[in-house]
Structure 1
Amino acid sequence: PAIFTAALLNSQPMGFYAPAQLVQDARNHQVDVRAIDVNFSAWDNEIEVGALRLGLRQIGGFHKDWAVAIAAARPFTSLEELARKARLPARALHLLADADALRSLNLDRRAGGWEARRTPSDELPLFAAADARELAQEPEIALPVMPVSEHVAADYQMTRMSLKGHPMEFLRDMFAAEGILTCAQTDAAKHGARVKTAGVVLTRQRPGKGNAIFITIEDETGVTNALLWSRLFERQRRAVMASRLMVIEGEVQRSKEGVVHLMATHITDRSHELERLSHDHDVNVPLSRSDEFAQPVYPRHGHPRDVRILPKSRDFH
């Protein structure tokens, strides 16, 4: 399973399976999946002593030549050493920090981001770099701890997956209070049961000129496959096509072979709930739209996390 998953990840984008699905399936089959790290990751996803080590290619916007330079210059003990030995530009350092790929340097995402901001690019001339390092000697600042929900959101933004959790698990109590089932509970429901279930949208498909829309959503327990007839789709087009996080209401249908589909009757767009992933007593990072950060964790122009919290679903047009 580890070799198969690595090959599929290295071949992305392909098919209707997102990286998060592939990694979760591997973990469900007892594959040890290890995080991206500057001291261990190559460009590609690779097998490492029986485990799957995620590659630097998973970081959105990262360049292969940077990964090659990192692999050739290892090991590193500090971010400054990484920048100097691998001759990395500032953007590469920022992307590595935002992807939480500096753990072996004893830097988590927030501390790494702060250090990347203070570390001069090795592309600077020698004396300019020396002056910049002198100017960068600032007093130590006690950074607030980043909540796990925000880590998960940032992981999805940077790598389209997270080994720390699933976005839906942090919203579970709220949805459970509304009587909304998990995907696993929907899959276990009796034939004919009327249910509501919620999840992150993975795919929306309309085969050929068919009169049905097939929707797949995912939460921390699995996936739900829903079918929506075209006549109902036309009445709810906006909610169906715009949702990043969707609530589906419908009737469970179970075939003799045990295949479960949710025959959808009503779709609700709950994408705005994703804002809650970044709300914490100590940290407040508001979102400009339902699924975009409006401000970075630390100030700089053109933050790479000014992107969607969740990767785009695979849709028909």
Structure 2
Amino acid sequence: YPLIAYINEARRSGIEILGPDINQSRHTFSIEGGAIRCGLDEIRGLSQSTIERILAHRPFTTVEEFACGVRPRVDELINLINAGGLDSLPGSRGEKFLRAMAVMRCRSLPLLPPVIPRIPEERSYLKQWEILGFIPDRHPLEVVAPDRRMKIGDLKEGSTAGITGLILSRRLYRDLTFFTIDDETGILDVVFSGHPGLVGRIATFVGRYERGSLKVRLLRLIL
């Protein structure tokens, strides 16, 4: 299974997952109190040399300290911010980007810097999912499809239902596809006639729930 499957299972088991933090994260996942902290290695596009500079120069109290000590590439800065790695520093994500860029380009900000609108919460979560491969504090379905009537944990034997899930894996046997999907309440095997390559996508499956799996007659892609 992909990493997100284990993250989701840990969260369902009551373990708190903490996002990356330039002042707290190590290279890889680590235990922090009773929680699991995401490592800096999980941030897409972040080089090992930049990670080493973060570890060597921290702690940071302002984004200016971070930019001056670490000097990340622009794409690294963007991914660090969107992953939530600088959330412990003052200012919005947009403000931190401008202030860091001003330091790295040796420019001063105007006395009255432009007002930067906050990024909508849903977009912030989707960016974090894109960069980390998961959302630390919630299942992606809670962002993409928060108003679902039926969840995996609600399924009853013999019932016909529509279930929206994140596709974790796919196995093929003759003309059948066996998906494993999950949501914030559990994990489910799905049987579908056809071979769509949808791993990592979110879809709604409509079918009959029997003996622990959903026999699907209709599939609709959500994201």
Larger of the two Rg values belongs to structure:
1
CA distance in 2, matches of 1:43, 1:215: 32
Q: Which runs of 5+ in 2 are unaligned?
A: none
CA distance in 2, matches of 1:160, 1:38: 18
Higher relative contact order (CA 8 A, sep 6+): 2
The CA RMSD measured in Å over matched residues stands at 2.4
Task: Work out whether 1:35 is the aligned partner of 2:8.
Answer: no
Map 1:45-60; keep pairs closer than 5 Å. 45-60=29-44
Greater fraction helix: 1
* 1:83–1:89 contact (8 Å) kept in structure 2: no
CA distance in 2, matches of 1:26, 1:74: 29
Task: Work out whether 1:193 is the aligned partner of 2:159.
Answer: yes
Residues 119 and 138 (structure 1), Cα distance of their counterparts in 2 relative to 1, 3 Å cut: farther
Residues 138 and 21 (structure 1), Cα distance of their counterparts in 2 relative to 1, 3 Å cut: farther
Q: Which of the residues 184, 198, 222 maps onto 2:153?
A: 184
Partner SS state of residue 57, structure 1 = helix
Q: Which of the residues 146, 150, 155 maps onto 1:172?
A: 146
Q: Percentage identity across aligned positions?
A: 24
* 2:12–2:186 contact (8 Å) kept in structure 1: no
CA distance in 2, matches of 1:165, 1:148: 13
Partner SS state of residue 61, structure 1 = coil
One-letter code aligned to 1:52:
I
CA distance in 1, matches of 2:221, 2:111: 46
Q: Which of the residues 142, 163, 184 maps onto 1:220?
A: 184
Residues 148 and 88 (structure 1), Cα distance of their counterparts in 2 relative to 1, 3 Å cut: closer
Cα distance, 1:270 vs structure 2: 2.8
Residues 270 and 49 (structure 1), Cα distance of their counterparts in 2 relative to 1, 3 Å cut: closer
Cα distance, 1:211 vs structure 2: 4.7
Aligned to 1:106: 90
Task: Work out whether 1:25 is the aligned partner of 2:9.
Answer: yes
Output one character per residue of 1:87-135: Cα deviation in whole Å (capped at 9) or x when no partner.
4333332221121211221244333333344342xxxxxxxx5xx323x
Cα distance, 1:138 vs structure 2: 5.9
* 2:177–2:191 contact (8 Å) kept in structure 1: yes
CA distance in 2, matches of 1:109, 1:87: 17
Cα distance, 1:163 vs structure 2: 2.6
Aligned to 1:146: 119
Map 1:1-317; keep pairs closer than 5 Å. 16=1, 18-120=2-104, 129=105, 132-134=106-108, 136-137=109-110, 139-170=112-143, 171-173=145-147, 175-176=148-149, 181-186=150-155, 189-190=156-157, 192-206=158-172, 210-228=174-192, 232-233=193-194, 237=195, 240-242=196-198, 244-254=201-211, 260-271=212-223
Greater fraction strand: 2
> TM-score normalized by structure 2?
0.86
